Structure 1
Amino acid sequence: MARQRRIANQVDTKLDKGTNSSSSNGSNSTNNRSRKTTSLLSYWKQIIGCIVLGIAVTLGYMGYLETRVNTPFDDKKMVVRGGLEVPEQFWGTYRPGLYFGLKTRDPTSVVTGLMWYFPKRLKPGGDGIRHWCEQGDGLEKYGWLQHDGSTFGVQQIIDGVHVVDTSFVKRLGGSHGGDWTARISVDLKPNFKNQRSQGEDISLVWYTALDEETKGFISLTNSATKLTGIKGESSGLGEFTIKFTNHSGEVLHESFLSTIAPGLHLLKETVVASLRLAQDKPAAPRRIVLAGELLPEAGISKAEPNFVAVQLTGRVPFSVDVVFESGSFGTRQDTLVGETYTKALSWHQARFTQRFEDTFGLQKRGYSPKEVSFAQAALSNMLGGIGYFFGTSKVQNFYTKEPVHYWRAPLYTAVPSRSFFPRGFLWDEGFHGLLISTWDLDVELDIISHWFDLMNVEGWIPREQILGVEALAKIPEEFVVQRNTNANPPTFFLTLQYILKKYYNHLSEGRLATLERLYPRLQAWFSWFNTTQKGSVPGSYRWRGRDPLTNRELNPKTLTSGLDDYPRASHPTESEHHIDLYCWIAIAADTLAKLATLLDRDGYKYEQTADYLKDNDLMDSLHWSNFAERYADYGYHTDSVKLKRPKPLPRSQNQNMEMVRVTLKNPEYRLVDSTFGYVSLFPFLLQILEPDSPKLNQILDDMRNPDLLWTNYGLRSLSKNSPLYMKRNTEHDPPYWRGQIWININFLAVRSLHFYAHTDGPFKEKATKVYRELRGNVIENVMNQYFKTGYLWEQYNDETGEGSGCRPFTGWTALVVMMMGEQY
């Protein structure tokens, strides 16, 4: 206690002194202020440091978020063998957008292709030259009659009164993919063959081209043939030659072009710019010829030609063999030309016919030879429409101001339509895979592997693939950018579900290894769907990508669902949810659980999710309308909408005022049960509905009702009593999924009817009856329209059965082959 008093006294004394001493007082004041200033400075430094650190962390995290959209899933690629490691698939008709052309599965492939024209019909600007598959060419028919996806193909093209047959045969050998020969034959249609005077000259142009990244050269040669040939060398092919042999008829004239083309998408334009009129002799008729060598003058540029073309003009009938020979092939017993080629092609055709019957069994089911030929053509167009693309997508996410480029990658994929959609589409490819895997499982696993190598670290795959200059040239710029918020139906789960069912006990080690590599990517894909597309209510799901602000569309499109303009809730909000997406997620979880069992993985959480979503009580609580007795979307909706042209502004002339949507009655949150169509069927289509559910009986009745979905040609996409049946979505956009018959959904319906017809339940007999009728209607109409028009179509008219939309559409329309063979 004394010590404390003493200290206290000392403090008091100092304080007293300091009060009367200017020097003492000044000294104490400065020290205190200094301490306070130092403390304040230190405090603000900490605050500023925290702010700077926070900004740095935020910017770093934002940068991380920006790069996630174009960061690959991981370094372990799905495709472990490609290019020359798979020699039997190295060469192929992998340019589906062309009438006829071959390339390799090499990112920097040498490309070859055919153009042709009839000199008498050639118009200014090159109109009349055939190259890319164009609906505007107005060809009566074109498509593969036989194609096994690997070794050979036979195609028929009807151009006016002429039949142009193209075929190819491959022969393995050497270390660069082997040899191949293509034959182009031109003749008159059978009913014109007795009128030879109607035959005319035809000019065939066969070319070889390099893209800007291909390392190598090409040039002209006359060695070992009377006709001009082509020789070259590249890193993927080594040395090679292309020779031309006149198989039948007479070559009237020959010319060539050796030049620099600005890109693979401008090859036809390069040919058109080079055409000249020439005469062999003063009195001879003038002919259209290629201009010869068109290269920069010596000293100006050292550029070598990247485009070499040979034109052979002959009188119909006329046939030419184009012989590609690899420099590494070794000793050949014979050249694949003339009769040797004819015999080889016949052998492949016979082998294909037997394999087709072994796979689909159509002859033993009673189909006629004509009907079997139709089915062979449908399958062959699917296989002949497989392409190999290389390039980079443009992608956009929420955190980037401008679109960024995805990584450069290859894609091996089938395409929906060679004329209109010659590129890869995610939701189409799952349907394609059902038919391709039935024919060749390894080809399909290779396709799946290429698609899943395009998955980013988020678990997202761009839904439309526009890779390379040729693909980009076929699509408007506004449709190029892909957004990572947007999904597409995960139909590859449908393919895998089918593969597991069909091949469960026939999976080799190599195939199992592919599925092992695929499994973590499927998990990531499922997780992406299950988080980014979830709805506002537990268990619900919502397609992103609908425009809530548009007033131009009668019903804002849902492109991400694959069903485009199919009517949904009239006013998109975050509170809507969609029955079709709900069903896709249920099937995805169920497939993952089954795959986990096969691979001896723990798939319990997927099994739980599948059981949760396949619970009909949950599904009914979210999507069943007791009033309309149907499944439906839920959202902010009114049926009272129409398109109306605004009144012109006062004293304004020549106004082109586009029609806008007018809402006549305020929307409300409700089930969209006034609409009945494909979306309403999804619990049935994906077999989530229990076989003993009374709702199955209701769906079967509604499907079979001619006033709703039933027609003599298949199920229409939207019932006739739905408010938007066959209504335009804008004044420029005709109806698309609003009544027309689509074969992919009809296939799912036939497949499900087959399932319920072979599953015990009270509605088994009814399902059997509807199955037979629907299957018969679809098959008969698709065949009839093919025989009538020469094409498989994108969709079919629900009143007449006539094909509509684009053609040929031998993507999912070719699933009619599986219906014929009852392969589900």
Structure 2
Amino acid sequence: MLIKQIAFGYEFESTHLYEDDSARLLLSEHARETNASLKWGPYRPNLYMGIRPRGLPQSFLSGLMWYNVDSYSAIQKTRHSCEQSDEMSGYGWETYDTRDGGRQVMHDTTHKVDITTEFVKDGASWGLRVKGKPTQPDVNTAVVFYFGTEGLSESHLATKFSDLGYLQDTAYGGFINDLGKFDLTVTRGPASNQGPPDGNSVATAQLGDRIHARSLTVDPATLWKAKEYYMKITQDRIEQIQRMITSRDQLPIPSQLFNLNDDGGQGNLHFVQRNFMGEFQFDILFNGQSETPLTSAKVTHLLESAMSSFDNRYSEVFAPSAPYNTAEHIAFGKALISNVMGGIGYFHGSSLVDRSEGAYDDEEEENFWLNRGPPEITETEPLNLFSGVPSRPFFPRGFYWDEGFHLIPTLKWDPDLGLEILKSWFKLTDDEGWIAREQILGHEARSKVPQEFQTQIPTFANPPTLIIALEAFVEQVESSSTESKHGMPVGDDMPQQFINFPEFSPRTAYLRSPALARAAVKSMYPTLKLHYNWFRRTQSADIKAWHDPNVARPMSWTEGYRWRGRTPNHCLTSGLDDYPRALPPHPAEMHVDLLAWMGSMTRSMIKIGSFVGAPVSEIKRYKDILTGIQGNLEDLHWSEEAGLYCDLGWNAAQETRTHECHEGYVSLIPFMVGLVPSDRVGSIVKKIRDPDGLWSNHGIRSLSLRDSVFGTDENYWRGSVWIHMNYMILTALENYYDDPDIDSDVRSLMSDTYQKLRVNIVDTVFKEWQETGFAFEQYEQATGKGKGVKHFLGWTSLTTMIMNMPERLN
């Protein structure tokens, strides 16, 4: 039997997974419910608000813009895409669930207004409520909503045209391939809405509080440039008016000058503009093919339901432990998890890959970083990705190793959603097993990336956090105790009411039916093996060729690894860009962090392979590899002199490998992933607690204060505190605490370290959030001030998980 089910726009294909029709029906029901609940969303996270469907790249996209109209210059700072330079005192989702919707607030300092967007879904329909509350009296605000239709589609204005704008709700209708017929309405909103005063009108000026609409026909591939089109037609209008007047004094006031010229509404890109004085509210209602149309009243009801559901689920899933069970911390935690969910996007487009001979260089020659040769950049076929993003303004795209950390809270909140994201990522695997570490898909994504960083190289890796996240999913399924009650029945007599069982939601279906989860993971398993083998092949180190015969042989001649893509100043592929490494780079070097990641990845393959019933010989192979990794970690990378796990560099004068020791995250990663033997844990925890080394009042430093390059040059991974790495240290302390081979004094130190570190991390992130309205990429080790990218709600959102951890170890 072959089951082929389209889910989320991606093919799910397996052979002989089920032998009865009942199971097939359950799988089909899950796919249908999943697709319906995740079809629409703010899946353009690079925008303050941009809605599109998932899995349908050539269909529909939309966006929201706003600016102040009390001056002629404010339009130059029109809000549309999230930008680091925008003067905001915080923005983001306060409450958001990917399946239901929620509320987002943007505190715009420049335009003196707080903009709230509330998004909800109702089957094939959705509603967006836009509200504005000025922060000063008598503020006038222009708000522009646009949408575009792509592919085989047709859209048009259905409201009667007026020379003075539209006095009633403004409606559009049309048809979009794969979505069917639709109508979209921009409502006038409540009677309390007020337009700006008429001011110094001229013959062509528009009256206040009218809806203005303009439609264009543009190249569908450029619909994402809607702001540029809007600015162009606004400029054209200004020039038209200027030709009609004799002096600047006759110019209409800004709220009239910048209005759209209304037209008949034909095209594939449609703008709707509202100008308001003071507070305002209106709705955008998209009605797809459904029996009952979505109305403003129903939007209100759905919002109330979504907020209540979110609060209940947060209390169930992320209830914080003391001292973080206060109202302020709970609101903070809700915002963090909401921004993880609200940062999920759907991306489509080609990627740029260097296919030159140099891109496949195995880096076995000295000075390899200087001898790559000219690139041969090719454009791939269009790819799809459903993924979170590290930062909406700065990194609005998929990052391989970031996503593994994003999935930690995602899997806890919505396990089925987490698996769909993992499926999407692993579908990017090429025939060799490679997944590009940055997914810069299409022209819109590339517009946010400097040209020198756009091209991906097919021998470059990243820490393999995605497979580790999949292992976490498997552990969730295995630890679920509901299989006996809600598990998948077998046989042909499964009652119809089970298929519609009210608790069989697409959010937790895999936990309630481990057989279904096993089938889904089994379908992914061949790709996982291909990817795992690619890692071992392309990132391997030649242990034997550079081994000093005067030194004892290691446990394994095969289990040594080094990051490809090294330069003297950077090892971008490691994720720890400027962390100090051996100089100069050399083909003999070996990287302890990569060996540890490979150990963790191999342990994940053991767990996943066992879960899906892989052959015993295959599991044995993984176990043998893991044994070799653990042995070489001790034989090759432990420095007794430094008391650290260290990289190996090449000493040209002595023609031998030597330890390159830099106390910090690289030396701690073996501990973080749980590969350190019990008798080393005490010495490592003591180094973590050393205030002259790694310990700070704001978290564990990325590099020791004593290191000669601490805080130098870029100072990116040379001392700052990073939340995801501190989260890993906390979980390692938690896991090792239960090790019976660790003596009581060490356990006492671990407990104290855990409790103090948890408080230091949460207090640092929370304080900056309160003072600035933002979470940051990293935090200054001495002051706790945010550093690097702001509005970094990727792995910094692990603070939610930390608040949920036990207050102390006992």
Q: Could you say which TM-score interval applies, normalised by the shorter chain? A: 0.7 to 0.9
* Paired residue secondary structure (2:475): helix
Q: Check the 8 A contact 2:694/2:704 in 1, yes or no.
A: yes
Q: Check the 8 A contact 1:218/1:233 in 2, yes or no.
A: yes
| 1:542 equivalent in structure 2 | 562
Task: Tell me how many residue pairs correspond in the alignment.
Answer: 684
Aligned ranges for residues 197-596 of structure 1 at < 5 Å?
198-211=137-150, 214-222=151-159, 226-245=168-187, 246-247=189-190, 248-251=192-195, 252-262=209-219, 263-275=222-234, 276-277=237-238, 285=253, 287-292=256-261, 305-326=267-288, 328-332=289-293, 335-338=294-297, 340-362=298-320, 367-399=325-357, 402-506=376-480, 507=511, 508=513, 509-537=515-543, 538=557, 539-547=559-567, 555-596=568-609
TM normalised by structure 1 equals: 0.79
Q: Check the 8 A contact 1:727/1:738 in 2, yes or no.
A: yes
| Structure 1 residue 377, shift from structure 2 partner | 0.4
| Structure 1 residue 261, shift from structure 2 partner | 3.9
| 1:706 equivalent in structure 2 | 691
* Paired residue secondary structure (1:329): coil
Distance across 1 between alignment mates of 2:474 and 2:618:
19
Distance across 2 between alignment mates of 1:233 and 1:84:
23
Distance across 2 between alignment mates of 1:675 and 1:505:
38
Q: Check the 8 A contact 1:259/1:293 in 2, yes or no.
A: no
| Structure 1 residue 109, shift from structure 2 partner | 2.7
Q: Check the 8 A contact 2:344/2:387 in 1, yes or no.
A: yes
Distance across 2 between alignment mates of 1:596 and 1:559:
30
Runs of 4 or more consecutive aligned structure 1 residues displaced over 6 Å after TM superposition: 77-85, 278-284
- Alpha-carbon deviations, 1:79-125, whole Å to 9, x = none? 9998997111111110000001211011213011100011124528x
Q: Check the 8 A contact 2:145/2:271 in 1, yes or no.
A: yes
Distance across 1 between alignment mates of 2:623 and 2:671:
16
| Structure 1 residue 759, shift from structure 2 partner | 2.3
Distance across 1 between alignment mates of 2:14 and 2:766:
41
Match status 1:602 vs 2:615 = yes
TM normalised by structure 2 equals: 0.80
| Structure 1 residue 610, shift from structure 2 partner | 4.0
Structure 2: runs of 5 or more not aligned: 1-10, 16-26, 161-165, 196-208, 360-374, 481-510, 544-556
Report the identity percentage. Answer: 32
Match status 1:179 vs 2:125 = yes
| 1:659 equivalent in structure 2 | none
* Paired amino acid for 1:232: G
Distance across 2 between alignment mates of 1:362 and 1:630:
34
Distance across 2 between alignment mates of 1:782 and 1:104:
33
- Alpha-carbon deviations, 1:760-797, whole Å to 9, x = none? 22232221111111111111111111111111111100
* Paired residue secondary structure (1:166): strand
Change (3 A) 1:146 1:603: farther
* Paired amino acid for 1:723: S
* Paired residue secondary structure (1:120): coil
Distance across 2 between alignment mates of 1:405 and 1:483:
12
Distance across 2 between alignment mates of 1:205 and 1:75:
39
Aligned ranges for residues 756-767 of structure 1 at < 5 Å?
756-760=736-740, 761-762=742-743, 763-767=746-750
| Structure 1 residue 363, shift from structure 2 partner | 7.0
**Root-mean-square deviation (CA), in Å?**
2.8
Match status 1:686 vs 2:673 = yes
- Alpha-carbon deviations, 1:426-471, whole Å to 9, x = none? 1111111111100011111111111111101111111110112211
| Structure 1 residue 365, shift from structure 2 partner | 7.0
| 1:806 equivalent in structure 2 | 789
Among 163, 167, 170, which residue is 2:118 paired with?
167
* Paired amino acid for 1:250: Q
Change (3 A) 1:785 1:672: farther
Distance across 1 between alignment mates of 2:77 and 2:210:
19
Q: Check the 8 A contact 1:675/1:723 in 2, yes or no.
A: no
Change (3 A) 1:766 1:519: same
| 1:816 equivalent in structure 2 | 799
Q: Check the 8 A contact 1:556/1:565 in 2, yes or no.
A: yes
Among 750, 754, 775, which residue is 2:758 paired with?
775
- Alpha-carbon deviations, 1:193-213, whole Å to 9, x = none? xxxxx23111110001134xx
* Paired amino acid for 1:260: T
**Who wins on radius of gyration, i.e. which is larger?**
1
Distance across 2 between alignment mates of 1:533 and 1:111:
40
Of 598-607 and 313-322, more deviation after overlay is shown by: 598-607
| Structure 1 residue 341, shift from structure 2 partner | 2.5
* Paired amino acid for 1:127: Q
Distance across 2 between alignment mates of 1:690 and 1:239:
62
Distance across 2 between alignment mates of 1:605 and 1:722:
43
Of 430-439 and 400-409, more deviation after overlay is shown by: 400-409
* Paired residue secondary structure (2:169): coil
Q: Check the 8 A contact 2:703/2:718 in 1, yes or no.
A: yes
Q: Check the 8 A contact 1:232/1:241 in 2, yes or no.
A: yes
Aligned ranges for residues 37-76 of structure 1 at < 5 Å?
none
Change (3 A) 1:122 1:466: farther
* Paired amino acid for 1:442: D
